[in-house]
Structure 1
Amino acid sequence: MQHQLIDTPDFGMLQVTFDQAGEVIVAESGAMVAMDTGIDMKTSMRGGLLAAAKRKLLGGESLFQNTFTAGGPGQRLYLAPAPEGDLRAMNLQAGQSFFLQSGAYVAHVGDQLNLDTKFGGLKGFFGGAGFFMLKVTGPGTVYYCAYGALHEIDCPPEGYTVDNDHLVGFTEGLQFNVRKFGGFRGLFFSGEGLVCDFSGQGKIYLQTRNAGALAAFLHPFRPVKAKS
């Protein structure tokens, strides 16, 4: 199959064009935008009930996933993530892993690609970055998204610090530690909360916006009913 990432980086969408009947792509529940009528879609708990429940409860992903199978060559499928922003593809070799924050996974291609969860640390849970992260292991291709634009960083030798709410994912070879930003006072008054300190060799993927900051910005503008 062929894929094209369109309308990026603002409103990313994945266009898949199948080369032959029987080709398959698996997507997060609710990601389908449009498709040719000859494409077959089946909904299931990938990996069984226990594996699906683990991804849902610990990794923040949907309990169900949709499997799209081509009925013939030339058929097209369009997928899009929930948040507005960028969309990327990561090609993983056999045994190679990529770590994603909750909600960043969109779809994948490859029968041998494995989705699992990785413990992110207790502090990461309270920071809103997720108690667990999604661990994607190849071979295969995974499609992932960001709220806003995606920014890629090579971790420098001295390390790198990232706000938890702006972290999308990172490659293997990196170690991290979650801590309060600026001590106790910074945790509550700096507006940053918790941050992730990375070390090692690898790439870090950031999103330029975060939903929590948007919600806080909009909160004062909510209509409030006067008490009678």
Structure 2
Amino acid sequence: MAEFTVREIEGMRQLRIDLRDECVRSVRGALSRMEGAVRMTAPLPAPGALLKSWISSEAAIRPRYSGTGTVHLRPSMRGFHVFEARSLRWILEPGVFWASEGEVDLGLRLERMIPSMWAGEGLINLQTTVSGEGRIAINAPGPVEEIEVDGELVVRGRQVLGRTEGLRFSVRRPAGYVRSIIAGEKLARVFTGKGKALVCWTSYWNQYMHDKIAPDSDPTGDVFR
């Protein structure tokens, strides 16, 4: 099993992956450097996946790194959270997937259009799915906590970075239209059902300051929009 390590240097965080005759995949354009006998390939996805990727913000091409050695992905002021799929099917928010072991099954799914539009994600909201056995690393603005949901989870903004398929996504006012207006609350994201969720309640301080100074420099930088 490949070893995933998150290291912190000068306020930046970087994902290091150690391979021993193994294979991992990453998001497109994430490589910083490779050491040892590691080979990179970039297999093309099916034409349907390419078309979906072209009309959305989610990349369908996932470069592969195989062999024995070390792969360093590019550093970020954001953080990285490593978890195991444990035979569950996880749905990740756009731009969250960072890397995974080769045995993990990657897919793409289209979220329902109306909730996606009201959440500010556009009509075409393509999301990465991961399933099977193996480690997955996601890109997050702050510490990530895995919680159990049995009923309903209501959050402001994109605090839920991933969820199992037992949770259904919708958008509504947290307390009805009039009461929400009086309370100063906007539309909330609602996850209903039973399953697990990966949540990021707060961002790292340097990422928070970056978002305040240059909010438009990175389209995935501020998840609490």
* Alignment check: 8 A CA contact 1:110 1:139 kept: no
Partner of 1:67: 64
- Secondary structure of the residue aligned to 1:209 is coil
As a proportion of its length, which structure holds more strand? 2
- Aligned pairs for 1:74-153 (under 5 A) are 75-80=69-74, 84-93=78-87, 96-111=88-103, 113-129=105-121, 131-153=125-147
RMSD: 3.3
Indicate the SS of the match to 2:115. helix
**CA–CA separation in structure 1 for the residues paired with 2:107 and 2:130:** 5
In structure 2, distance between residues paired with 1:88 and 1:56: 28
Does the 8 A contact of 1:12 with 1:87 survive in 2? no
Q: Does structure 2 retain, via aligned residues, the 8 Å contact 1:101–1:129?
A: no
Contact 2:42 2:62 in 1 (8 A): yes
In the alignment, the residues of structure 1 paired with residue 174 and residue 127 of structure 2 have an alpha-carbon distance, to the nearest angstrom, of 21
Report if aligned partners of 1:110, 1:141 keep a CA contact under 8 Å in 2: no
Q: CA deviation at 1:145?
A: 2.1
Q: Deviations over 1:93-143 (max 9, x none)?
A: 2xx310110111011223561312132442323423563332223244322
Instruction: Give the CA deviation at 1:28.
Output: 0.5
Shift of 1:152: 2.5
| Structure 2 equivalent of residue 226 of structure 1 | none
Counterpart in the other structure of 1:176 = 169
Q: 2:27 is matched with which residue?
A: 28
Unaligned runs of 5+ residues in structure 1 are: 221-228
In 2: Cα distance, 1:216 partner to 1:32 partner: 24
TM-score, length-scaled by structure 1:
0.73
Distance 1:177 1:168 in 2: 15
For 1:149, give the aligned amino acid.
P
SS at structure 1 position matched to 2:49: helix
* Runs of 4+ with >4 A deviation: 80-83, 181-187, 213-216
TM-score (ref. length: structure 2): 0.74
Residue 179 to residue 54, structure 1, CA distance change in 2 (3 Å): same
User: Share of identical aligned residues, percent?
Assistant: 21
Assess, with a 3 A threshold, how the Cα gap between structure 1 residues 132 and 184 changes in structure 2: closer, same or farther: farther
Match of 1:162 among 151, 155, 159: 155
* CA distance 1:167–1:146, change in 2 (3 Å): same
Distance 2:80 2:105 in 1: 23
156 and 105 in structure 1: CA distance in 2 versus 1, 3 angstrom threshold? same
